[in-house]
Amino acid sequence: MTSAEIFGSHVLDLLTFKKRLPKPTYHALRDAIQKGIQLDGASADTIAQAMMEWAVSKGVTHYTHWFQPMTGNSAQKHDAFLSFDANMMPIERFSGNQLIQSEPDASSFPSGGTRTTFEARGYTAWDPSSPVFIQRNRTVSILCIPSVFFTYTGHALDTKTPLLRSINQLNEAAAAALELLTGKKVSVSATLGCEQEYFLVDRKWHDMRPDLIMAGRTVLGALPAKGQQMEDHYFGAIKGRVLAFMEDLETQLYELGVPAKTRHNEVAPHQFEMAPIFRDANLAADNNQLVMEVARKVAHEHDLSILLHEKPFAGVNGSGKHLNWSMATSDGRNLLEPGKSPQSNITFLYFLVAVVNAIQNRGDLLRATIASAGNDHRLGANEAPPAIMSVFLGSQLTNILDQIEKADGFNEEIVASIDLGLAELPNITVDRTDRNRTSPFAFTGNKFEFRACGSSQSVSFPVSALNAAVTESLLEMNAKLEDVGQITEKNLFELLRPFISQSKNIRFEGDNYSDEWAAEAEERGLTNLKTTPEALALWQTEEAKAFAKNTGFLTDFELEAVINVRMEQYAKHLDIEAATMLRLIDNFVLPAAIAHQGESAASLSALTEALGEKAAASSALQAGRLHCLAETIGNLIDARNKLETELDAVHQLPEEAHALATAKQVVPLMDKARAQADALETMVDASTWELPTYHELLFLM
């Protein structure tokens, strides 16, 4: 079968429903999906019956409300279609009520301390805007119903609900702007494409590393002689075993309606990337959750382990998730598509300035949405954008905005072309922007690319915040646009001028990795919050609370829960890493090092006894190595003792203080202990070193 024939075969979309539903019921479902109109009970029952019949025809026995709690992962509880009729005969049954709502126990999901343990009631509710799909395992097939998750009192306990709210609010603000600018009434949706980076390692090596099992990353490990310095892995030929994994992954994703498009080697050894075709943000967020879930399963089937952690290995690049974001109208127009002449493209300039103004106003909060223990390793490490938010537009667009600000005239520019010097290749038109890989938020031709998101993270919170920030910016600009009257270039440029001026602070065209930029950003007053607790604290200000509430994507209650959960997750992740490090040091590193020390001492003693003065020079050299080994062992014992003491101390602190102390005190002590352990790895006999090294993990597959 071709990829087109496979695509969506396990998805119940509107086209399939149209064949299975009476026309009035189909229209009711279509209106529920496209207009948000609530379904009546009779329609819900008919839809549920059609849904069950389709699923059963494909071997499905159970259904689940598939939702995304604040853990950042997906969750599900399976219920069977099996029931009994009035005569106690077994039948398959699925009602409209069962489709629309379910009641899982919510007490064991994170709520950031906003609910007590006995407040267990939570509800899942079907999100008809995201199609249902079938997940297959070896012997079981499950009908998955994408859902939101909320409390008994109606507060969101998930990441999808705020995303849906932000999409609706952005639609209203953007549609209002378009009606003012063009006189046309259309709806607008946020579009998204998530480039997913990951590592693959042989499962036999993975399963011999307790840190990879418990923490998802190596907390110890000396660098191999070769890492990524030869620059020979990026876009290199894909190994057969990896390609087989990728092909199986793509096939299963196609069945689930996930449009995987691109696959390639990334910079680091055993690092890879896949990217999808862009689509509506809600569906793209669901798709990315499926990408991570299915990739784990397929990797296991190939005796591989996938590492989605942002920094599984020291000394080589970590993994991120680039979020390609734009806005599209219901009649198919990309609002961030410049067209042939950006100067005359009024709508494009209006929305471009709105987005840049949004980052100027809320960039620090957007940075905080991608804060995590794993991402702290990447940001600002010359492999990912810094923790300083800035916007890259490219020279042409920057020049246009500068001209508007200075009220200069507009000269039509001839689109430049590059002659590659090869007769068999056509000339290639130059993009309007270069690709500044160091920028955290870059315009890339017809979209913005937010490059700071971590590879393991749910995209919903950052995309919700971005949608909300652009909504806020559009509402401010729309209020002024209503007073303009006739829309002319001159009038629009006058309106845009102050927004362009105030956004100059956030625009930067240079190297975001450089120390010079860090110094300049500080002069501009831009924040550079390098740890998760510092970044999350920004969301606890009254200004941030007002922003979340006024844009409608989070209530005060929900925002408190989100930030508390993220603080808890940060501290817990690092607690696990630190405890795992102590266990590895005690159970693997020190026993191997001390055994090697004993063997070396015995060998030196035997040498001296056997040869006496004749071995003086050699004995002195070996004694020096032995002294270095013994000193490093002592340093490691001292470092691990200090780490253990500090870890015990921070556990006595309240949650937020715990997180801050972990960042400021525990993490530096972990770094010191690791330095000594990694040094010992290079000194100890490889035959006594039980932990698989970076050599096995990064080069043997």
- Which 3-state string (H, E, C) describes 490-507? HHHHHHHHHHHHHCCCCE
**Is pLDDT at 246 greater than 80 in this prediction?**
yes
Q: Average pLDDT of 136-142?
A: 88
The rounded distance, in Å, linking the Cα atoms of 10 and 290 is: 13
Which one, of 340, 297, 287, lies nearest residue 446 by Cα?
Answer: 340
What count of Cα atoms within 13 Å lies in the side-chain half-sphere of residue 506? 24
**Can you give the pLDDT at residue 631?**
97
**Is pLDDT at 425 greater than 60 in this prediction?**
no
**Can you give the pLDDT at residue 401?**
87
In CATH terms, 165-218+230-419+426-512+520-554 corresponds, of 3.30.930.10, 3.30.360.10, 3.30.590.10, 3.40.50.720, to: 3.30.590.10
Higher-confidence residue of 1 and 424: namely 1
**Can you give the pLDDT at residue 111?**
52
* Spatial contact of 390 and 439, defined as CB atoms under 8 Å apart: yes
**358 class by beta-carbon count within 10 Å (0-12 exposed, 13-18 middle, 19+ buried):** buried
Higher-confidence residue of 424 and 234: namely 234
Least confident span in 110-114, 434-438, 594-598, 690-694:
110-114
Classify each residue of 182-218 as buried b or exposed e, where b means 16 or more C-beta atoms within 10 Å of its C-beta: eeeebebbbbbbbbbbbbbbbeebbeebbbbeebbbb
**Is pLDDT at 416 greater than 50 in this prediction?**
no
The rounded distance, in Å, linking the Cα atoms of 70 and 562 is: 7
Q: Average pLDDT of 548-556?
A: 95
Q: In this predicted model, what pLDDT tens digit does every residue of 170-184 receive, in sequence order?
A: 999 999 999 999 899
* Spatial contact of 673 and 585, defined as CB atoms under 8 Å apart: yes
**Is pLDDT at 413 greater than 50 in this prediction?**
no
**Where residue 232 falls among pLDDT bands split at 50, 70, 90?**
low
**Is pLDDT at 212 greater than 80 in this prediction?**
yes
Which one, of 512, 436, 191, lies nearest residue 323 by Cα?
Answer: 191
**Can you give the pLDDT at residue 437?**
78
How many other C-beta atoms lie within 10 A of the C-beta of residue 546? 11
- Domain 3-158, second-level architecture: Roll (3.10)
The token pair at 510 is 């240079």
**Is pLDDT at 410 greater than 60 in this prediction?**
no
Output 42-49 pairs: Cβ under 8 A, ≥24 positions apart: 42/96, 43/96, 44/96, 44/97, 44/99, 44/100, 45/95, 45/96, 46/21, 46/22, 46/96, 47/17, 47/21, 47/96, 47/99, 48/94, 48/95, 48/96, 48/98, 48/99, 49/94
**Can you give the pLDDT at residue 187?**
95
**Is pLDDT at 419 greater than 50 in this prediction?**
no
Q: In this predicted model, what pLDDT tens digit does every residue of 473-522 receive, in sequence order?
A: 999 999 999 988 788 778 888 899 999 999 999 999 989 988 899 999 99
**Is pLDDT at 107 greater than 80 in this prediction?**
no
**Can you give the pLDDT at residue 82?**
84
SS3 276: strand
**Where residue 422 falls among pLDDT bands split at 50, 70, 90?**
very low
Q: In this predicted model, what pLDDT tens digit does every residue of 148-172 receive, in sequence order?
A: 998 888 889 999 999 999 999 999 9
**Can you give the pLDDT at residue 557?**
93
AA letter at 544: A
**Can you give the pLDDT at residue 534?**
95
> Which whole-number Å values give the CA distances from 443 to 219, 278, 326, 440, 567, in the listed order?
36, 16, 10, 10, 31
The rounded distance, in Å, linking the Cα atoms of 670 and 585 is: 11
How many other C-beta atoms lie within 10 A of the C-beta of residue 297? 16
**Is pLDDT at 423 greater than 50 in this prediction?**
no
Q: Average pLDDT of 431-436?
A: 58
**Where residue 209 falls among pLDDT bands split at 50, 70, 90?**
very high
Domain with CATH 3.10.20.70 in the chain: 3-158
**Where residue 116 falls among pLDDT bands split at 50, 70, 90?**
very low
pTM of the model: 0.92
Residues 6+ positions from 97 with CB-CB distance below 8 Å: 41, 44
**Can you give the pLDDT at residue 429?**
43
Q: Average pLDDT of 87-116?
A: 70
The percentage of residues in the chain with a pLDDT greater than 90, rounded to a whole number, is: 70
Higher-confidence residue of 95 and 662: namely 662
The rounded distance, in Å, linking the Cα atoms of 111 and 560 is: 9
The pLDDT mean for the chain works out to 89
**Where residue 114 falls among pLDDT bands split at 50, 70, 90?**
low
- Answer yes or no: CATH 1.20.120.1560 is held by domain 572-699: yes
Domain with CATH 1.20.120.1560 in the chain: 572-699
AA letter at 553: F
Handedness of CA 284, 287, 293, 299 (dihedral sign): negative
Least confident span in 297-301, 336-340, 386-390:
336-340
Higher-confidence residue of 381 and 32: namely 32
